[in-house]
Amino acid sequence: MADLKKKLSTNVAGDFFVDSTCINCDTCRQLALATFQEKGDYSSVYSQPETEPERQDAWRALLACPVGSIGTVEKDKAHLRRAMESFPLHLEGDVYYNGFNSEKSFGANSYFLRHEDGNWLVDSPRYTAHLVEAFERMGGIRYVFLSHEDDVADAARYARRFKATRIIHEEDAEAMPDAEWIVRGYEPEAATAHVQLIPVPGHTAGSMALLYDGRYLFSGDHLWWDRETGTLGAPEQLVWNRPRLLDSLTRLLTYRFEWVLPGHGDRKRLPAAEMNAHLQQLVETRR
């Protein structure tokens, strides 16, 4: 839990605060942009939540923070309980955001995909009893998809608990060497009738995206929505191979999707044609 003695001076006065253990991973800003803002090398509270939705978002951010850097002066078990019960957080259709981001993946987002043919865990949150129980109620986990080597976190524990099949690309398999399903080569692969695995090397040699139902693109650290520019973004640092990254972005132009669901960066839903136009713009700026 956050330490009031380590409270950052950049926080405004009030109940919520961020302390100096913050790693500036952006999790809190994605969940509660009305409350948290980047200040220098950290996130800080720039506006105390006033409405009930704002308070609920702030409590979700507190729980999702991978290093427990968010705290409150006053204890509020009712709000804490409601925020916890909201995870996994329903986004749309069969798709959920898990919360409880892991420090092992620098606070990367993970997702749960509910489907009658078997549920998917996309990258990994922290291993928590709450999520285990929630996944059990939702039918367990059949597959654990790992977008790349950086965001495996506690995937092995979830896979053991639910006897799930872990999927990772051969080029990043050192991060999960005993995975049951190793994707080889760079051609797209149909995992099920509804799920495609799309290798997108660039950020890492084994980066992959998962496309569900032609609507939801789980993009790992390959592609995200940039709230500051109001368009799609892709890595410019920590890139294994820049020409391959551009090739991978170009490949995605041939797919239709409405959602970008990244590990790092904002989630975004747009009409498919508009999303494709943003992707085309990104590709052109990288050429």
Degrees (nearest 5) of the Cα angle 62, 266, 252? 145
Pairwise CA distance, residues 119 & 155, whole Å? 14
State the pTM of this model: 0.97
Residue 248 sits at φ, ψ, to 5 deg, of -70, -40
* C-beta separation of 263 from 220 below 8 A: yes
DSSP secondary structure, 121-151, as one string = EES-----HHHHHHHHHTT--SEEE--SGGG
Determine how many CB atoms are found less than 10 A away from the CB of residue 106. 20
Pairwise CA distance, residues 31 & 33, whole Å? 6
Pairwise CA distance, residues 198 & 40, whole Å? 36
* C-beta separation of 199 from 183 below 8 A: yes
Pairwise CA distance, residues 158 & 206, whole Å? 21
DSSP state letter for 200: -
- C-alpha torsion sign, points 254, 257, 263, 264: positive
Angle at which helix 272-286 crosses helix 242-252, to 10 degrees, equals: 160
Nearest to 111 by CA among 67, 69, 79, 158: 158
Nearest to 192 by CA among 142, 152, 146: 142
Residue type at position 28:
C
Q: What is the pLDDT of residue 36?
A: 98
CA 255 and chain centroid, separation: 21
With a pLDDT cut of 90, the percent of the chain lying above it is 99
In this predicted model, what pLDDT tens digit does every residue of 89-102 receive, in sequence order?
999 999 999 999 99
Pairwise CA distance, residues 68 & 102, whole Å? 10
Strands ordered across the beta sheet of 195-199: 189-190, 195-199, 208-212, 216-220, 259-262, 268-269
* Average pLDDT along the chain, 287 residues, taken 10 residues at a time: 94 98 98 97 97 98 98 96 98 98 98 96 98 98 98 98 98 98 97 97 98 98 96 96 98 98 98 98 95
* C-beta separation of 64 from 27 below 8 A: yes
In this predicted model, what pLDDT tens digit does every residue of 213-243 receive, in sequence order?
999 999 999 999 999 999 999 999 999 999 9
Q: What is the pLDDT of residue 106?
A: 97
Domains defined for the chain, CATH in brackets: 4-84 (3.30.70.20), 87-286 (3.60.15.10)
Tokens of residue 33, six digits: 């942009």
